[in-house]
Chain A
Amino acid sequence: MAADGDSPPDFDAWVSHRGAHLLRFAYLITRDRNRAEEVVQDALVAAYPRWSRIASDPDAYVRRCIVNANISAWRRIFRRETLVDDPSILGEAGPDHAIAHADADSVWQLCASLPTKQRAAVVLRYYEGLPDAEIAEILGCSASTVRSQIHRALASLRTTLSSSEEVLR
């Protein structure tokens, strides 16, 4: 949300404007509606007392909080593995657009197997359409690391998709 002139946006106005977008981003990262609401609220509660400092660019701060909330230490302990459906059953669909739809759904399922940072990089690139430099700022890494994360994620997805195609042949 563009602030009026040079003044930073008001917290309430910014959340009202960006809330839905943040929830969509969080849902794509967490893949769980309740968890998405939780991490967005966590991020905004954390942002509120720092608002005067981050109001010039709250997007990056809040999205970083959302990503970090999903990979916090205790969650890493309990969520090392994310269950995904067997790829061999994901492509069982009819011809034409149904196949494309099934493939897209397969991709969604397979995204769950990506590490959170890779998934976040993929969401920021392919859903948010952000350049590598902005993704790097949000993820707290370099642009080259972002490119490498996305490259690995795509390779992983391609491998899994092609293996599922092999199974279906």
Chain B
Amino acid sequence: MNDPTETLLAQSLANHATEAPSDTSLLADVHTRLGRRRRARTAGAAVLACAAVATAITGINNLTNEVAPSPAPATVAQPAKGWHWESYSNIQIQVPDSWQDGTFSHLWTCRGGKPAGPTVGRPTTGIVPMMACGSLAPPVAERVSHAFFDYNLQPGVFARGNGWTEEAKVFGAVGVSVFTDDDAVRRQIIDSAQLITGTDAYGCAPSSPAVGNTRWRPETGDGVAAMGEVKSIQICAYRGTTSANQPPPLVASAQLTGDDARAVGEALREAPEIPDRGVFSGNVTAAEGCQVSDSEILVLRLRGDSGEQEVVSRFAQCGATGFDDGLMVRQLTKPVLKPVVDAINRPEFIPPALQHLLR
């Protein structure tokens, strides 16, 4: 390359190539777009199917001159077979059913033992031992696949050696990180990650008026006693308190249906009323051994034969416990509490003082 123009050209291109954008998030961005495209195609297929059904219904109506049936209520976004939704703050992801909630996290070296199987981790309101925590991945024998919701994540794909990869996707302040040696599973989880707009797959909003207001009570419905047989229960778990500069307080969500929902509904009706507890007291004190700021709350929405009813339950370590449907506060009982806590896979949700209810 003796031509000065060619030399200049090569030099100029080499110099300016260094100004190219980084590939840090390229793979994640591509998979986000692929995921979006898949979802759009699914939605498009659904729209076409609906259009076909609507056309058929219209045709039948035209022939029979009968009134078309009212549209079915919106359904929960269906996860892939063998997968389920997990939510945290304003993000939801799909994970395999074998991935269960747990406290295992990126604080690898802080754990005393390896979980039995893949987990879904969330920042908890409890104490996290951080002394001597390291940021490096543990030895392969101690690794376990997990998804972990977290703050201040660095988006991107990171090789962790021995075929293990960590991939993080961030939505504003909150993100999700997936760590596994199964690339297909990692991709499917990351592709499914999405912001919760309105409500999540279980019908839970990222926040609730019950959060930060210990005196808030459900205002609609005629009470649990008047709603007939319970068909389904949405379970939304929130941090007990929040502030303007914190991400939305949704911690986890789930749904009970069928016999499980009916049994919980019956057990709730049968739970004894707490006398003189028309309203929760927000004035629990340190002297009573309570840590209100550490509490989490449950907001349940029960759907029954005769209507819907919201029920809020707080789990401060003393005093303010029970199920409140706005008309009556009922005692916490195992037949109600255990299926609900099991559904959201959060046994640590219950303060130690109430753990006996789960035994």
Contact = CB atoms under 8 A, between A and B. Distances in A.
Contact of A28 (B16, B33, B34): B16
Contacts of A157: 5, 9
Contacts of B15: 104, 108
Contacts of A104: 8, 11-12, 15
Interface stretch (A1-9, A39-47, A77-85, A139-147): A39-47
A26 B8 contact: no
Interface residues of A, number: 36
A27 B21 contact: yes
Nearest to B15: A104
B294 to A, nearest CB: 41
Contacts of B9: 107, 111, 122, 126, 154, 157
Given A41-B33, A45-B33, A16 B12 contact: no
Contacts of A127: 10, 13-14, 17
A161 B5 CA distance: 9
Interface string A36-56: 110011001100100000000
Nearest to B18: A24
A-B pairs with lowest CB-CB distance, top 4: A19-B23, A27-B20, A104-B12, A127-B13
Nearest to A44: B30
A12 B23 CA distance: 13
Nearest to A33: B21
B22 interface: yes
Contact of A20 (B23, B34, B159): B23
Contacts of A107: 5, 8-9, 11-12
B30 A27 contact: no
Interface string B194-234: 00000000000000000000000000000000000000000
Interface in B1-55: 3, 5-6, 8-17, 19-23, 26-27, 29-30, 33-34, 37
Given A24-B20, A45-B34, A15 B26 contact: yes
A93 B26 CA distance: 37
Interface residues of B, number: 29
Contacts of B14: 127
B5 A154 contact: yes
Given A111-B9, A127-B17, 14 more contacts: A12-B27, A12-B157, A27-B17, A27-B19, A27-B20, A33-B19, A33-B21, A37-B21, A41-B30, A44-B26, A45-B37, A107-B9, A127-B14, A157-B9
A103 interface: yes
Contact of A12 (B3, B8, B187): B187
A63 to B, nearest CB: 14
Contacts, number: 96
Contacts of B21: 23, 27, 33-34, 36-37
8 contacts: A27-B21, A37-B29, A41-B26, A44-B26, A48-B30, A154-B3, A154-B6, A158-B5
B183 interface: yes
A23 B26 CA distance: 9
Given A108-B12, A123-B13, A127-B14, A19 B27 contact: yes
A137 interface: no
Interface in A55-113: 100, 103-105, 107-108, 111
Nearest to B33: A45
A33 B20 contact: yes
Contacts of B26: 15, 19, 23, 37, 40-41, 44
A111 B13 CA distance: 10
Contacts of B16: 27-28, 108
Name the residue in B11, B23, B27, B187 with the highest tally of chain A Cβ atoms < 10 Å from its Cβ: B23
A22 B22 CA distance: 10
Given A12-B187, A33-B19, A154-B3, A126 B30 contact: no
Given A10-B183, A20-B22, A104-B8, A15 B27 contact: yes
B37 to A, nearest CB: 7
B20 A23 contact: yes
B25 to A, nearest CB: 9
A108 B19 CA distance: 12
A33 B22 CA distance: 9
Nearest to A107: B12
Contacts of B19: 27, 33
A105 B30 contact: no
Contacts of B29: 37, 41
A23 B23 contact: yes
A118 B319 CA distance: 77
Nearest to A129: B10
B61 to A, nearest CB: 40
Nearest to B17: A24
